[in-house]
Amino acid sequence: MTAEELRPEASKEPASQPIADEVKGEAPSADAAQAPAARPRAAGRAPAGPPPGQQAPPTADAVKLEAIFKEILGEQAMKVEYNFGELVLTVLPEQILEVCRIGRTDPRLDFNYLRSLSGVDYVTHFEVVYHLYSLDKLHKITLKTRISHEEPEVDSVISVWSGADWHERELAEMFDINVKGHPNLVPLLLDEGVDEHPLLKSHPLVPMGEDRPGVITDLGESDWMGYRASGGKE
């Protein structure tokens, strides 16, 4: 298994690219940077130097965790990044449940607290992000897995942390991701029977300044002060 497999969009790149290069060259593609709803002037200037997230050196905890994960999973199985000095691991979707279980049960890792579970739609692929924390050891890690739009499926981690329950239900309804093994995958926040997945980037969002349904934009002839002076009788 190679790191290229981790990225569904990586097929364009030469297969022989080493992992280290790939980690460095993580610049977003120009088309993906534009959200469908973003206005055209959103194009930014050329960045000067590495972004702040990459500048910080890895913390001691992060280096230690990386070594432990490498020992358990092997070198090839994951992509390692550092973001603000913290460890970010990207693993294959088939592995995520296993990695989570190891993280929870291994006494050296002991990630007993699921801080947050979020989905991100990167147009080319989905990313499911697990922010884990250990209340006893006070270290943290970001686990990521990438799934394609064609096969949006991820394993449920509800057997590892009960707290994943509602997060996963939200993930399923907002991104149309099938969370395998979740006992009760009914919509949480949206209306029952609504067949929309709002957080997908393809979901339309009417930009500011345009007519939205149900909003009065024709202001008519009313004058506020005159109306108030008349005591609201007009």
Closest residue by Cα to residue 9 from 118, 144, 129, 149: 149
Considering only residues 158 to 217 of the shown chain, the ones binding other proteins according to CB under 8 A are: 161-163, 165-166, 174, 187-191, 198-199, 203, 205, 207-209, 215-217
Q: Where does this chain touch other proteins (CB under 8 A) — which range of 4-12, 13-21, 40-48, 65-73?
A: 40-48
Cβ at position 126, least distance to other proteins in Å: 11
* Measured CA distances, 226 to 140, 216, 220, 229, 230 (Å): 61, 21, 14, 5, 6
| CA dist., res. 54 & res. 175, Å (int) | 29
Interface with other proteins (CB under 8 A), residue total 66
State which of residues 1, 43, 60, 67 lies at the interface with other proteins (CB under 8 A): 43
CB of 218 to other proteins, least distance (A): 9
Nearer to other proteins, 150 or 221 (CB): 221
Segment 104-163, which members bind other proteins (CB under 8 A)? 112-116, 118, 120-121, 129, 131, 135, 138, 142, 161-163
Which segments of the chain are extended strands (E)? 78-83, 86-91, 113-121, 125-133, 140-148, 153-155, 178-180
- Closer residue to other proteins, CB minimum distance, 15 or 208: 208
- Residue 60 touches other proteins, criterion: CB under 8 A: no
The reply on whether position 22 binds other proteins by CB under 8 A is no
**What long-range pairs does 16-21 form, CB within 8 A, spacing at least 24?**
19/79
Choose between 71 and 211: whose C-beta lies nearer to other proteins.
211
12 contributes a contact to other proteins by CB under 8 A:
no
Report CA-CA distances (Å) from 172 to 20, 92, 146, 213: 33, 19, 15, 27
Q: What angle do CA 106, 84, 162 make, to 5 degrees?
A: 40
Which residues lie closer than 8 Å to 22 by C-beta, 6 or more apart?
3, 4, 7, 10, 13, 79
Cβ-contact 151, 102 below 8 angstroms:
no
- Burial of 99 from C-beta contacts in 10 A (0-12 / 13-18 / 19+): buried
Least gap, CB of 159 to other proteins (angstroms)? 11
Residues in region 71-90 near other proteins by CB under 8 A:
83-84
List residues binding other proteins (CB under 8 A): 27-28, 32-35, 37-39, 41-45, 47, 51-55, 83-84, 112-116, 118, 120-121, 129, 131, 135, 138, 142, 161-163, 165-166, 174, 187-191, 198-199, 203, 205, 207-209, 215-217, 219-220, 222-225, 227-228, 232, 234
